[in-house]
Structure 1
């Protein structure tokens, strides 16, 4: 890993990094209510969100749930399913404080997320986008992190070289694709591990507590 003096920007995944993984746990709840194996249903629902085109804005939410109902045999309304997921995306305040610390040291911080219109709804609830220099949502970008070129396009947007950017995600496939494009990467498991990675890169952080509160205006 290069030292912090070389790093200029950080790309953060949303669910599982900046917030609890609402998609996974919401789908687990839907599976439980429909008598399905949670992990099998998660894998199916994940593939369908890409296959349907919902993740890249080529289909809407109605199309997604219709396809998933057909493939999995689940019952329930779109709004009920949506709320099961969105209510479990709980923002991690200390991660936003960490982002603020990085930006205070001159680093650029970007959300790079395979998300849908749900991220827009979550922004209306929690107002987290103001903590970042940019937000790249696959739903609006028309391209997901399964396409490695998205990483280079993001780096180019920042006017940087790939090695000057660290990508943080909890998905091993996304991490591998970013690394193949020359980005520095961190496979996120918990905040403590990320802080250790920053310290190893020459960026130890002291983060004040209590700066962010959910649903603040």
Structure 2
């Protein structure tokens, strides 16, 4: 089904068939960084420094691509930081902070009800599946692509080719929403439309231009 919406410049209408959402930082609060800020505060560490180390371990170590286990991720992080807490305590700090944003899921439901295809494209780990078990959001989407299962992250531009192919839509008819500017840039380079999520107010302004009448 083809839907007519205004483009971002307010010019002629263009087709839009699918909307693709990032999870942490878009559909839900960003639990990874907030969790590590809390851990850093508890240990008297620099929050930014700990978060950067954690990102380095999760990416270079291969956890985000499913190449190493969660236990191996925490073991490497402890070796690099000296944090001695057990896995369960550390992961709880992160997962408890991935709080779903109701206003975003309202949009998901309205889009799907109106005939748009909706998808999650996330650089996540097995945690995404655990969060779904707790909150039951997978059922609200036509497609969920998680780097942990794909072995590929949004740093690889071809992942955006994969998601539109899986949805059966043309890149120029798919809207991608993410809070990381690098991912937005790569999506646009592959021909997708995109919204860089920086906060609710700005998101709602942009979303209205793409999807008038479905803003919530």
TM-score using structure 2 length:
0.91
Q: Spell out the pairing of 1:200-211 with structure 2 (5 A cutoff).
A: 200-205=209-214, 207=216
Counterpart pick for 1:35 among 38, 44, 52: 44
| Inter-partner Cα distance in structure 2 for 1:109 and 1:202 | 13
Task: Please tell me whether residue 49 in structure 1 is matched to residue 58 in structure 2.
Answer: yes
Please report how far the alpha carbon of residue 186 of structure 1 lies from its aligned counterpart in structure 2 after TM superposition: 0.5
CA deviation profile, 1:36-56 (whole Å, cap 9, x unmatched): 110111111111101111101
Deviates more, 1:184-193 or 1:52-61: 184-193
| Inter-partner Cα distance in structure 2 for 1:37 and 1:200 | 40
| Inter-partner Cα distance in structure 2 for 1:19 and 1:33 | 24
| Inter-partner Cα distance in structure 1 for 2:43 and 2:18 | 43
Task: Please tell me whether residue 167 in structure 1 is matched to residue 191 in structure 2.
Answer: no
Q: Spell out the pairing of 1:145-160 with structure 2 (5 A cutoff).
A: 145-160=154-169
Q: Spell out the pairing of 1:171-186 with structure 2 (5 A cutoff).
A: 171-186=180-195
Task: Please tell me whether residue 11 in structure 1 is matched to residue 32 in structure 2.
Answer: no
| Inter-partner Cα distance in structure 2 for 1:142 and 1:129 | 20
Please report how far the alpha carbon of residue 172 of structure 1 lies from its aligned counterpart in structure 2 after TM superposition: 0.9
Q: Secondary structure at the match of 2:100?
A: coil
Task: Please tell me whether residue 111 in structure 1 is matched to residue 131 in structure 2.
Answer: no
| Inter-partner Cα distance in structure 2 for 1:84 and 1:196 | 32
Q: Secondary structure at the match of 1:64?
A: helix
Q: Structure 1 unaligned segments of length 5 or more: list them.
A: 208-217
| Inter-partner Cα distance in structure 2 for 1:81 and 1:133 | 32
Q: Structure 2 unaligned segments of length 5 or more: list them.
A: 1-6
Indicate conservation of the 8 Å contact 1:170/1:189, yes or no. Answer: yes
Counterpart pick for 1:133 among 123, 127, 142: 142
Please report how far the alpha carbon of residue 195 of structure 1 lies from its aligned counterpart in structure 2 after TM superposition: 2.2
Structure 1's 67 and 131: CA in aligned 2 closer, same or farther, altered over 3 A?
same
The alignment's C-alpha RMSD in Å is 1.4
Corresponding residue pairs, total: 207
Task: Please tell me whether residue 143 in structure 1 is matched to residue 152 in structure 2.
Answer: yes
Q: Secondary structure at the match of 1:15?
A: coil
Please report how far the alpha carbon of residue 193 of structure 1 lies from its aligned counterpart in structure 2 after TM superposition: 2.1
Q: Secondary structure at the match of 2:175?
A: strand
Counterpart pick for 2:103 among 81, 89, 94: 94
Aligned to 1:211: none
Please report how far the alpha carbon of residue 30 of structure 1 lies from its aligned counterpart in structure 2 after TM superposition: 1.1
| Inter-partner Cα distance in structure 1 for 2:42 and 2:211 | 47
